[in-house]
Amino acid sequence: MLHILKMHCVSCSKINPVLGLHQMSPQNFVRNVHLCRAMKSPPFKYFSEFLLWQKKKNFGKYSIVSPSNVTEHQRTLPPHIPKPPYFSTGQPPPVSFTVPEVKDQNSVKGMKRACRLARKVLDHIGREAKIGVTTEELDRIAHELIIEANAYPSPLYYKGFPKSVCTSVNNVVCHGIPDDRPLEDGDIVNIDVTVYFDGFHGDCSKTFLIGNVDEYGRRLVEVTELCLKNAIEVCKPHVPFTMIGNVAEDTARNHGFTVLPAILGHGIGSYFHGPPEVWHVCNDFGGEMRPGNTFTIEPAVTQGGMELELLDDGWTVITADQARTAQCEHTVLITESGVEILTELSPE
């Protein structure tokens, strides 16, 4: 889930009542930078100076990615495949609740099946992600695997998204549309797989290394995975959702990286996105975890600053300073005694 913003500060952000986005002006950023735990940069007089400072940082060796050609080929969808409610219109129906859903045993079983399938597809696609392979080809393979399992690729037609998975390379943060650009030696690529299976969505992602990735890129991916791991470990009944952001942000900052506040996790079930919004930075938005809650945790971590740009396709989000980002995601279930990672495969 994405909230576009210029800069973000939990302590001094303002709410835009028209867009409903948490955002702050460059002036507020400069004036309050010393208050915000999410900022570790020096207090520059002008916002432009901050961007120049970020661009001077050494982000390593990699290709800056711009969107390539996206084919308009329609993927085959057999009529027997159960389809989500937004299939025809692209618009998901609103959820009927405002607090995180507590699922019963049957719903939990359905979530486990969907999440297990999503992970199997993700692992398979990860093995196919190699130098010279296009992300369009990865999308084709994923689509066929999902259809063969009698499931539906959740991103397809969701609010108009044209493909079956999201593929985000290097400086692309999230929601990258698969295209005809071949993967290159040194790329890092996040592949985000969600399936709709037997009435439930399962969602997961991972950033894969392509060929010989430099030390900066490998370290970025390692720390992102550590952010996810540490955030999951604090989850259990009655723990505030804010703990996820506290732990994820602290982990990234302690290793010299920045969590992107605009990228959120979300509740998931028979709906693709619902309560709660899961922030990956320090926040005070309230709410406690309860047994039966299922939601995603999906920190996006960058080498550079927090400013993002949304491209003209309406989906692709890139870093303004062209720094690389990595992201990883699990769907988790809060149990009576702790947490279960639903998108982590156990031995057969």
pLDDT confidence band for 8 (50 / 70 / 90):
very low
Identify which of 23, 56, 28 has the alpha carbon closest to the alpha carbon of residue 43.
28
Which tokens go with 343? 């998108």
Is the pLDDT reported for residue 20 higher than 90? no
Identify which of 302, 314, 104, 106 has the alpha carbon closest to the alpha carbon of residue 220.
302
Is the pLDDT reported for residue 46 higher than 70? no
For domain 103-341, give the fold: Creatine Amidinohydrolase (3.90.230)
pTM: 0.85
Average pLDDT over residues 138-156: 98
What are the boundaries of each domain within the chain? 103-341
Q: Over pLDDT 70: what percentage of the chain?
A: 83
Could you read off the pLDDT of 89-101 as tens digits, one per residue? Answer: 999 999 999 999 9
Q: Residue 64: CB partners within 8 Å, gap ≥ 6?
A: 170, 171, 322
CB 90 within 8 A of CB 157: yes
Rounded distance, CA 110 to CA 330, Å?
A: 16
Annotated binding site for a divalent metal cation, which residues?
A: 192, 203, 266, 298, 329
Average pLDDT over residues 212-227: 98
Per DSSP bridges, beta strands 188-197 and 152-153 are antiparallel
Count of C-beta atoms within a 10 Å radius of residue 119: 23
Could you read off the pLDDT of 301-319 as tens digits, one per residue? Answer: 999 999 999 999 999 999 9
Is the pLDDT reported for residue 347 higher than 80? no
Rounded distance, CA 107 to CA 113, Å?
A: 10
The per-residue pLDDT of the chain, averaged, comes to 86
Is the pLDDT reported for residue 9 higher than 50? no
Task: From residue 87, give the alpha-carbon distance in Å to each of 14, 83, 155, 326, 348.
Answer: 35, 6, 10, 30, 33
The DSSP code sequence of 189-249 is: EEEEEEEEETTEEEEEEEEEE-SS--HHHHHHHHHHHHHHHHHHHT--TT-BTHHHHHHHH
pLDDT confidence band for 145 (50 / 70 / 90):
very high
Residue 236: HSE in the Cβ half-sphere, 13 Å Cα cutoff: 6
Range in 13-17, 90-94, 115-119, 252-256 with the lowest mean pLDDT: 13-17
pLDDT confidence band for 4 (50 / 70 / 90):
very low
Is the pLDDT reported for residue 124 higher than 80? yes
- Name the region of 186 (left: φ>0; alpha: ψ -120 to 50; beta: rest): left
Task: From residue 298, give the alpha-carbon distance in Å to each of 79, 81, 262.
Answer: 32, 28, 11
Could you read off the pLDDT of 67-114 as tens digits, one per residue? Answer: 778 877 778 899 999 999 999 999 999 999 999 999 999 999 999 999
Rounded distance, CA 230 to CA 145, Å?
A: 31
Whole-number pLDDT of residue 58: 80
Annotated binding site, which residues?
A: 175, 192, 203, 266, 273, 298, 329
pLDDT confidence band for 66 (50 / 70 / 90):
confident
Annotated binding site for substrate, which residues?
A: 175, 273
